Amino acid sequence: MKRVLVACGNGIATSTVVATKIREACENHGVPVTVSQCKLLEVESKADDFDLLVTTGKFTGGSVSVPVVGAINLLTGINEDATLEEILGYLK
Amino acid sequence: MEGIKFDSRQVLMLTGMENDEQVLSAVADAMCEMGLVKDTYKQAILDREKEFPTGLNTGGCNIAIPHADVTHVNEASICVGILEEPVMFHAMDEPDDLIPVKMVIMLALKEAHSHLDMLQKVVELIQDQALVKQIVETKEKDTVCQLLKEKLL
């Protein structure tokens, strides 16, 4: 099962919405996944345990070895489906 | 929004605001006066906005969704500020970019990773640009409050 880390500034608000949208999209596509949340500041120390990093804010907290997808579109609704497809592409 | 406090006192029609800091201070002060948040909330909001800005570029009427750590909150609630003139906020996804914002939805969250219902409804509102346009163009506070309640509660 692939593991996704969703990060935002405080790790409590926008990441909650994005994590839920990822879980729902994966469920709809039959993709097993575990989704965790954290603060952007915690990403560098945690990301290695995950297969994909998704952020709402801009990730500038160092370098990570996992792919990173910006998910602001899941908040604004602009090109939301394309962003979900991109995320699913890493998890299938 | 079960368990989330929102009434007409939590809608502010803001005029003469010159920058994002003034807007954030006005909304946070109102929440503090109502006892919804602690004295430390405002500074936490201001600090957080500098480090992780909350302006959302919606392609239409831009919105900011400032929020702070749960430790600064007394009661789960939101407070909405409608800006008569747009005020520049930094964008969440590109902090160096400034975007004109017309509506601020300040979130006071009591528990981390919770309040999903409220957060989802706020995001639905942000994405309902026809409604957002209607809200920000309404000069009547009562109408604004009614429209927000219909969408959020």
Measure CB to CB from residue B52 to each of A17, A40, A75 and give the nearest one.
Answer: A40
Q: According to the model, what pLDDT value does residue A60 have?
A: 86
Q: How confident is the model at residue B153 (pLDDT cuts 50, 70, 90)?
A: confident
With b for 16 or more beta-carbon neighbours within 10 A and e for fewer, the B30-53 pattern comes to bbbebebbbeebbebbbebbeebb
- How many domains, chain B? 1
Contact at 8 Å (CB) between B95 and B82?
no
Give me the mean pLDDT over the B25-44 stretch.
Answer: 98
Q: Is residue B153 in some structural domain?
A: no
Asked if residue B3 is part of any domain, the answer here is no
Q: Answer yes or no: are the C-beta atoms of B101 and B64 closer than 8 Å.
A: yes
Concatenating the DSSP letter of every residue in B71-130 gives GGBSS-EEEEEEEEEEEEEEBSS-TT-EEEEEEEEEEE-SSTT--HHHHHHHHHHHH-HH
The CATH code of the domain at A2-91 is 3.40.50.2300
Token digits of residue B132 = 């957002």
B21 part of a folded domain: yes
Distance, in Å, from the CA atom of A36 to the CA atom of A17, rounded to the nearest integer, reads 12
Q: Mean pLDDT, chain B, as a whole number?
A: 95
- A10 vs B contacts (CB less than 8 Å): 48, 52, 67-69
Identity (one letter) of the amino acid at B74? Answer: N
Q: Is residue B1 part of a domain?
A: no
Instruction: Quote ipTM for the complex.
Output: 0.93
pTM of the full structure: 0.95
Confidence band, pLDDT 50/70/90 cuts, at residue B1:
low
Helices and strands: H and E segment counts in chain A? 4, 4
pLDDT bin (cut points 50, 70, 90) of residue A63 is: confident
Note the pLDDT of residue A45.
Answer: 94
Residues of B in contact with A12 (CB under 8 A): 67, 69-70, 109, 112-113
List residues of A with catalytic annotation. Answer: 8
